[in-house]
Amino acid sequence: MEELRAVIEDLLSPLLGGYAAWAATFALTMMKIVAIVLPLMLCVAYLTYAERRVIGAIQLRIGPNIVGPMGLLQPIADALKLLLKEVILPARAGRFLFLIAPAISLTAALAAWSVMPFSPGVVLADVNAGLLFVLAVTSMGVYGVIIAGWASNSKYAFLGCLRSAAQIVSYEIAMGFALVTVLMAAGSLNLSAIVLGQEGPTFLSWYWLPLLPMFVVYFISGVAETNRAPFDVAEGESEIVAGFHVEYSGMAFAIFFLAEYANMILIAALASVMFLGGWLPPFDFPPFNWVPGFVWFFGKIAFLLFCFLWFRATFPRYRYDQIMRLGWKVFIPLTIVWLVVVGLWMQTPLWFWN
Amino acid sequence: MVEYGEEKKLRGTVPSFALIVFYAFSAVLLCAALGVILVRNTVHAALLLVLAFVASAGVWMLLFAEFLAIVLVLVYVGAVMVLFLFVLMMLDANLESLRSGRGRFLSAAVALLVAAQIAAALNRDSFLQLPRFEAPAEAAGDNTRLLGSVVYTEYAYPFELAAVLLLVAMVAAVALSLRRRKDVKYTDPAVQMRASPAGRVRLVDMPSEKPPQTATVETNKTTEKRKGEKQ
């Protein structure tokens, strides 16, 4: 990395003089960002394809299979179609806010990836308070929803945004408490340090075992945070048309879609970093630890994403008051109790996860 | 990020990167703060306040107070302002009546008071003769760890007091707003979960159609046999 930096700096110094060092840093950071975002967008595109195929299989249908071999070009065709469509501005909508809302959603979904460790040392920004950073950045995604619903100047969009925002704020509390137990176990807020804290001979040394209830709470809260079925009341088609993005069309709508799927991948990645050992192999002996770390990491993410799709095909939609009950009256007390249990457990010699 | 050595090397020829970022954040912060009090639409004002919080979090980040900066975004932007926006969007508050009425003088008095307070706090050497607290040098390293160790040892009592104060406010808010409506048909999910099919549905074994005449005797026999098995 440093050599690359020096090369770029040398190339730019005749042009920019003293500013070449900056420009090199800037260019290198940009390259790293592109290296994360481009594959991520590709993953998002193929996650939509995977979703349609998996749910098709669960419902004994085929799913998209016409465009390209096995329908593999379907996401590209969808993206092209949405790009070519007109973005319609509703009458008396707040123009600026209406257009900036999808951008806020997507920014929040992408910014959190900057602290994600893919392999030992492979991370864009190795921030000390990485876990907090992720929580803060993802909590800003709710503004995309609120602003979209309000600026649309439409009752259905507004109702959808209120539902969604209340749901996201409620489940964030349970999620935060689940993360507190993780940072207690790891003794660090740095995501790389959390993965390294789970190092051990087998998958039993990962945090899913002592923090199993927290893992379940975190994952279900993640499903609720991303407004996915069975918690997708924000876009309940049968009740409020399509929720907060009912007035959006074309690429503006597509960006909300991208943000939702990028958020799903983010939740799956965070769950695998915090509870399933990130890039660590399930067994630390030859046939398993020959496989490079990021393959394990992506495998874990893929499994959790499959769970997202599986839930959507399996469970009926929750009623709104039941969602709130689950968040406030079941998950938050459960997490608080488990916080105390873990605190006490860590003081005994029976705590094996150091 | 620009490393320290580099920054020294560059100093004199070009301003440091951090300085430019600082001015950018400060400009956004000031504009947003002015916007909060100048725009007519209350929702726009609240959104500008959110922008001001984010910009000030950026300034704190430049001071290596990363914990405070992130918590500012997490708590104020991620939770408090969301609920605030909820209220504003649903109330449709009218600012014009607030601006023109007697409230003007009250707001001016409050603003003056707050400004005086801030001036006193910043200038405390001459005003209150309070000791000036310097940021510990180690804070630049791991701000989160340092803050945790200070808050739970040296400042444990003030911290606990603040927590209790928040708890009291929360209990009061719940007590004031909680009401049980009698006219709502509420189903207890626990009861729903305990329901077993045996208590709800009785499955009756019946032949689906009248069997053909020739096989009557045999079919009857098999039905009786099944009944016998059940008993």
Measured distance CA(B34)–CA(B76) in Å, rounded: 19
pLDDT (0 to 100) of residue A268: 92
Pick from A21, A146, A325: CB nearest B85: A146
The residue of chain A with its CA nearest to that of B11 is A18
Residues A171-224: tens digit of each pLDDT:
888 988 998 999 888 888 888 888 888 888 888 888 888 889 999 999 999 998
Helical packing angle, A130-139 and A250-274, nearest 10°: 150
Residue B50 pLDDT: 92
Q: Is A158 on the interface with B (CB under 8 A)?
A: yes
Each residue's pLDDT tens digit, B25-70: 999 999 999 998 888 888 888 899 999 999 999 998 888 788 888 8
Contact A92, A150 (CB under 8 A): no
Locate B189 and state its tokens: 């999910």
Contact B74 A132 (CB under 8 A): yes
pLDDT (tens digit per residue) in B141-166: 677 778 888 888 888 899 999 999 99
Q: Which chain A residue is nearest to residue B6, measuring alpha carbons?
A: A21
Amino acid occupying residue B170: M
Taking CB atoms and an 8 Å limit, are A129 and B189 in contact across chains?
no
Find the farthest-apart pair of alpha carbons in chain B and give their distance in angstroms, rounded. 114
Q: What is the pLDDT of residues A289-347, one digit of tens each?
A: 788 888 888 999 999 999 989 998 888 888 888 888 888 889 999 999 999 999 998 88
CA-nearest of A314, A301, A340 to A58 is A314
Q: pLDDT tens digits, residue range B182-215?
A: 887 777 778 888 888 888 888 888 877 777 776 5
Mean pLDDT of A247-257: 84
B82 contacts in chain A (CB < 8 Å): 142-143, 146, 165, 169
Q: Quote the pLDDT of residue A219.
A: 92
Whether B142 and A128 lie within 8 Å, measured CB to CB: yes
Å between A238 CA and nearest CA of chain B: 22
Closest CA to A138 of A267, A34, A316, A268: A267
Cβ-based burial of B119 (10 A; exposed 0-12, middle 13-18, buried ≥19):
exposed
B184 exposure class (CB count in 10 Å sphere: 0-12, 13-18, 19+): exposed
Cβ separation of B79 and A172 shorter than 8 Å?
Answer: yes
Tell me if B189 and A140 make a contact (CB, 8 A cut-off): no
CB pairs under 8 A between A and B: 80
Q: Hey, what amino acid is at B177?
A: S
How far apart (Å, rounded) are the C-alpha atoms in residues B114 and A234?
41
Q: Long-range pairs for B49-57 at CB < 8 Å and ≥24 separation?
A: B49/B81, B50/A143, B50/B77, B50/B81, B53/B77, B53/B81, B54/A140, B55/B25, B55/B26, B55/B28, B55/B29, B56/B25, B56/B29
Beta pairing partners, A283 = A202
Give the mean pLDDT of A77-82.
88
Residues 303-322 of A with CB under 8 A from B: 322
Q: How far is A132 from chain B (nearest CA, A)?
A: 7
CB contact under 8 A, A165 and B86: yes
What does pLDDT average to over chain A? 85
**Residues B31/A51, Cβ–Cβ less than 8 Å:** no
Distance CA A44, CA A55 (A): 16
Please state, in angstroms and rounded to a whole number, the distance separating the CA atoms of residues B19 and B25: 10
For residues B65 and B49, the answer to whether their CB atoms sit within 8 Å is no
Q: Does A19 touch chain B (CB under 8 A)?
A: yes
Asked whether B144 and B67 are in contact (CB, 8 A), the reply is: yes
Picking from A333, A335, A304, A152, the residue whose alpha carbon sits closest to that of residue A228 is A304
In chain A, whose CA is at the least distance from the CA of B67?
A129
Is A115 part of the contact surface with chain B (CB cutoff 8 Å)? no
Provide the pLDDT for residue B100: 67
Q: State the ipTM, two decimals.
A: 0.83
Q: How many helices and strands (H and E) does chain A possess?
A: 15, 0
Would you call A21 and B10 a contact, using CB atoms and an 8 Å cutoff? yes
pTM metric for this prediction: 0.82
Q: How far is CA A232 from CA A34, A109, A189, A319, in A?
A: 31, 18, 31, 10
**Contact: A169, B43; criterion CB under 8 Å:** no
Query: 3-class SS at B175?
Result: helix
Query: Residue range A113-122: average pLDDT?
Result: 84
Shortest CA distance from A28: residue in chain B: B1
Q: What is the mean pLDDT of residues A45-64?
A: 90
Does B77 sit within 8 Å of A169, measured CB to CB? no
Q: Do A142 and B82 touch (CB under 8 A)?
A: yes
Determine the Cα–Cα distance for residues A95 and B77; give it in Å rounded to an integer. Answer: 23
Q: What is the pLDDT of residue B216?
A: 52
Residues in chain A within 8 Å Cβ distance of B17: 22, 25
Determine, for residues B79 and A22 on separate chains, whether the beta-carbon distance falls below 8 Å.
no
Question: What per-residue confidence (pLDDT) applies to B11?
Answer: 45
The CB density around residue B61, as the number of other CB atoms within 10 Å, is 17
Cis geometry, peptide bond prior to residue A213 (ω within 30 degrees of 0):
no
